[in-house]
Structure 1
Amino acid sequence: MAEFSLRQLEYFVAVVEAESVTVAAKRLHVSPGGVSLALKELETALKVQLTLRRRGKGVSVTPTGRWVYEHAQGMLARAADISAAARVVRGELTGELRIGCFTTLSPWLFPRIAAHFAENYPGVEVHLIEDASATLLDRMRKGELDVVLNYANHLSPGIASTEIAPVRLVLAVSPSHRLAAFDEVPLRELESETAILLALEPATSHVESILRTAGIEPLVRWRSANVETIRSMVARGLGYTIIMGRPYGDRTYDGLPLAYRPIADEVPPNSIVVGYPEGTLPTAKMRTLIAYCRHEFAQEGQLSL
Structure 2
Amino acid sequence: MPAFTLRQLEFFVAVAETGSVSAAAKHTNASAGAVSLSLRELERAVKAQLLYRRPGYGTTVTPTGAAAYQHAKRLLANAESIEGLSQTDEGALIGELRIGCFPTLSPWMVPRVIEFFAQEHPAIDVQLTEDDSTYLQAHLLAGKLDAVIMYRNALAPGVEAELVAPARVQVVLAADHPLAAFDEVPLAALQPETAIALAQPAATHYLEDVLRVAGFMPNVRWRSSNTETIRSMVARGLGYALVMGRPVGDRTYDGLPLVYRRIQGDIPENPVVIARPRDAPVTPKFRALADFCRQKFSLEGTPVQ
Distance 2:290 2:248 in 1: 21
Deviation, structure 1 residue 224: 0.6
Q: How does 1:204-215 map to 2 (within 5 A)?
A: 204-215=204-215
Distance 1:101 1:266 in 2: 27
Q: How does 1:1-305 map to 2 (within 5 A)?
A: 90-302=90-302
What letter corresponds to residue 188 of structure 2 in structure 1? R
Distance 1:119 1:254 in 2: 35
Deviation, structure 1 residue 245: 3.6
What letter corresponds to residue 224 of structure 1 in structure 2? S
Distance 1:300 1:240 in 2: 25
Corresponding residue number in structure 1 for 2:18: none
- Rg (Cα) greater in structure: 1
Deviation, structure 1 residue 259: 1.3
Deviation, structure 1 residue 280: 2.4
Tell me how many residue pairs correspond in the alignment. Answer: 221
Distance 2:153 2:175 in 1: 30
Distance 2:193 2:131 in 1: 30
Report if aligned partners of 1:232, 1:253 keep a CA contact under 8 Å in 2: yes
Q: Greater CA deviation, 270-279 or 236-245?
A: 236-245
Report if aligned partners of 1:93, 1:285 keep a CA contact under 8 Å in 2: yes
What letter corresponds to residue 246 of structure 1 in structure 2? R
Corresponding residue number in structure 1 for 2:35: none
Deviations 1:169-211 (Å, cap 9, x if unpaired)?
1101122211111111001111221211111012112212432
What letter corresponds to residue 144 of structure 1 in structure 2? K
What letter corresponds to residue 275 of structure 2 in structure 1? G
SS in structure 1 opposite 2:166? strand
Question: Structure 1-normalised TM-score?
Answer: 0.67
Corresponding residue number in structure 1 for 2:68: none
Distance 1:153 1:282 in 2: 22
Q: Greater CA deviation, 133-142 or 186-195?
A: 186-195
Report if aligned partners of 1:162, 1:290 keep a CA contact under 8 Å in 2: yes
What letter corresponds to residue 266 of structure 2 in structure 1? E
Deviation, structure 1 residue 85: 11
Note the aligned Cα RMSD (angstroms): 2.2
SS in structure 2 opposite 1:138? helix
Task: Name which structure has the greater RCO, CA cutoff 8 Å, separation 6+.
Answer: 2
Report if aligned partners of 1:100, 1:147 keep a CA contact under 8 Å in 2: yes
Report if aligned partners of 1:173, 1:239 keep a CA contact under 8 Å in 2: yes
Deviation, structure 1 residue 155: 0.4
Question: Structure 2-normalised TM-score?
Answer: 0.67
Distance 2:296 2:251 in 1: 22
Deviations 1:19-72 (Å, cap 9, x if unpaired)?
xxxxxxxxxxxxxxxxxxxxxxxxxxxxxxxxxxxxxxxxxxxxxxxxxxxxxx
